[in-house]
Amino acid sequence: MGAGDAGPAVAMAMDLIVRLAEMEGAPRLLPITQAHIDSCLYHGQAGLDFAQRMAGVGAQVSVPTTLNVSSLDLLHPERVRADDDTQQAARALMDAYTSMGAEPTWTCAPYQLPSRPVFGEHVAWAESNAIVFANSVLGARTDRYGDFVDICAAIVGRVPEAGFHRDDARLATVVFDVSGLTDAQLNSSVLYPVLGHLVGRAVGTEVPAVVGLPPGASEADLKALGAAAASSGGVGMFHAVGITPEAPDLPAALGDREAAAIRVLTPHELRAVRRELSTFQGGRLDAVSVGTPHFSVQEIARLAQALDGRAIHSEVEFYANTHRYVLELAQERGLVEACEGAGVHFVVDTCTYITPILSPGTRRVMTDSAKWAYYAPGNLGVEVAFGSLEACVESAVAGEVVLDDPAW
């Protein structure tokens, strides 16, 4: 491949993969079964140049390949407020990746697609929350593949045997014990994004193990934990002991080694971290944004249930980010109609913290996502209030922030 026998695009991609393997000290390359591409999100001319160069010399993916969020919402183009030049460049980037044979999924949550990998499967996934979910919740194996490396791996169908592809890199090094939290906190959906934010900030790129979580934690809960930890830190894998597949118990998560550190968390610590996710605590509200990472069908159902036929306040914009596959399933169940009838605007193909969708003048936004709360103030220049999905709905209906949660 590197010699050019399979064409210039494959040679270029293999050259990059081999150089990466040399940097990482990988002994060999591993075959992968699928890839997920982050670099289809438009960040500037360099990304477009790279994709068009690859496509121009005939690049084609060699494994099933899905695409991360873009900078456009092709189903609701009127919601994107970017200038014409940016929109044209963003569409050209999307076209370049689909021309290489990638599936136009446009989602940051490929694990919600029917094609998600299974335990032990080696894949090349980019997008931080997708990486941590694949490794932690599915037990698939992917290292952190960023822009340009992701598409090269998809073209050659191979990655270095390094990072989370190796057994030793997947073992926990730091333990967080949440068994001392109150029952109300442990049974609250807010726990998972708050805990993820705390853990990510504390461990950076280490692999944490969490002891004491309720055994009934859902995929949505674990998604929120991982997404937050991958945002405030660089977590690519975590173990929820007794829940995630590689951690039936703590010794298994640690590989029968001693933990470098064990941290017992208190209710007070978690309350403090929750407050840190908000830059304002009350008063009027301009908008609500939920679904970062993209909502599942179950989460849209929860949104519809929380709304319970009520209308969003006339002065509050309410955005729910999801992807096309989920939106179609939710439409079949009548959930989309129920939410839109209340005033919810669904956003697909992208996300509101990276694409200009909020109305000009929006300054005070509420979210249920620690990831959105972490990035949006810097990306959009807005103030953020963080709360549960139910609190977001109550606030949107009232037109002002409502944080009546005794657990916190």
- pLDDT tens by residue, 77-95: 999 999 999 999 999 999 9
User: Taking 90 as the threshold, does the pLDDT of residue 48 lie above it?
Assistant: yes
Mean pLDDT along residues 216-225: 97
H or E element in which residue 125 lies: strand 124-125
How much of the chain, in percent, has pLDDT values that exceed 90?
98
Classify residue 90: in a domain, yes or no: yes
Quickly tell me which residue has 């998600």 as its tokens.
116
In this predicted structure, which of 164-168, 333-337, 404-408 has the lowest mean pLDDT?
404-408
User: Taking 90 as the threshold, does the pLDDT of residue 408 lie above it?
Assistant: no
- Domain with 349 in it: 278-398
Structurally, the chain folds into a number of domains equal to: 3
User: Taking 80 as the threshold, does the pLDDT of residue 404 lie above it?
Assistant: no
Classify residue 404: in a domain, yes or no: no
Classify residue 216: in a domain, yes or no: yes
Residue ending a domain, choose from 275, 309, 332: 275
338 with 238, same domain: the answer is no
Strand-strand pairing, 29-31 and 364-367: unpaired
Classify residue 164: in a domain, yes or no: no
226 with 310, same domain: the answer is no
pLDDT at position 293: 98
177 with 134, same domain: the answer is no
Mean pLDDT along residues 16-36: 98
Tell the burial category of 120 from Cβ atoms under 10 Å away from its Cβ (0-12, 13-18, 19+).
exposed
CA-based nearest residue to 320, from 303, 335, 298, 337: 303
Classify residue 1: in a domain, yes or no: no
pLDDT at position 83: 96
Cβ atoms of 39 and 150 within 8 Å: the answer is yes
286 with 320, same domain: the answer is yes
CA-based nearest residue to 180, from 82, 263, 295: 263
Average pLDDT, the chain: 97
User: Taking 80 as the threshold, does the pLDDT of residue 50 lie above it?
Assistant: yes
CATH number of the domain encompassing residue 367: 3.30.499.10
Cβ atoms of 365 and 192 within 8 Å: the answer is no
13 with 140, same domain: the answer is yes
CA-based nearest residue to 150, from 35, 67, 64: 35
327 with 368, same domain: the answer is yes
pLDDT band at 405 (very low <50, low <70, confident <90, very high): confident
12 with 57, same domain: the answer is yes
User: Taking 90 as the threshold, does the pLDDT of residue 235 lie above it?
Assistant: yes
How much of the chain, in percent, has pLDDT values that exceed 70?
100
17 with 88, same domain: the answer is yes
- pLDDT tens by residue, 247-298: 999 999 999 999 999 999 999 999 999 999 999 999 999 999 999 999 999 9
Classify residue 337: in a domain, yes or no: yes
- pLDDT tens by residue, 91-126: 999 999 999 999 999 999 999 999 999 999 999 999
CA distance 224 to 196: 7
- pLDDT tens by residue, 374-393: 999 999 999 999 999 999 99
Cβ atoms of 263 and 233 within 8 Å: the answer is no
303 with 270, same domain: the answer is no
Classify residue 165: in a domain, yes or no: no
Residue 212 or 403, more confident: 212
293 with 393, same domain: the answer is yes
CA distance 63 to 101: 9
61 with 154, same domain: the answer is yes
CATH number of the domain encompassing residue 137: 3.30.499
Residue ending a domain, choose from 213, 242, 275: 275
Mean pLDDT along residues 194-221: 97
394 with 380, same domain: the answer is yes
Classify residue 152: in a domain, yes or no: yes
Burial 226-257 (b: 16+ CB within 10 A, else e): bbbbbbbbebbbbbbbbbbebbeebeebbeee
pLDDT at position 406: 77
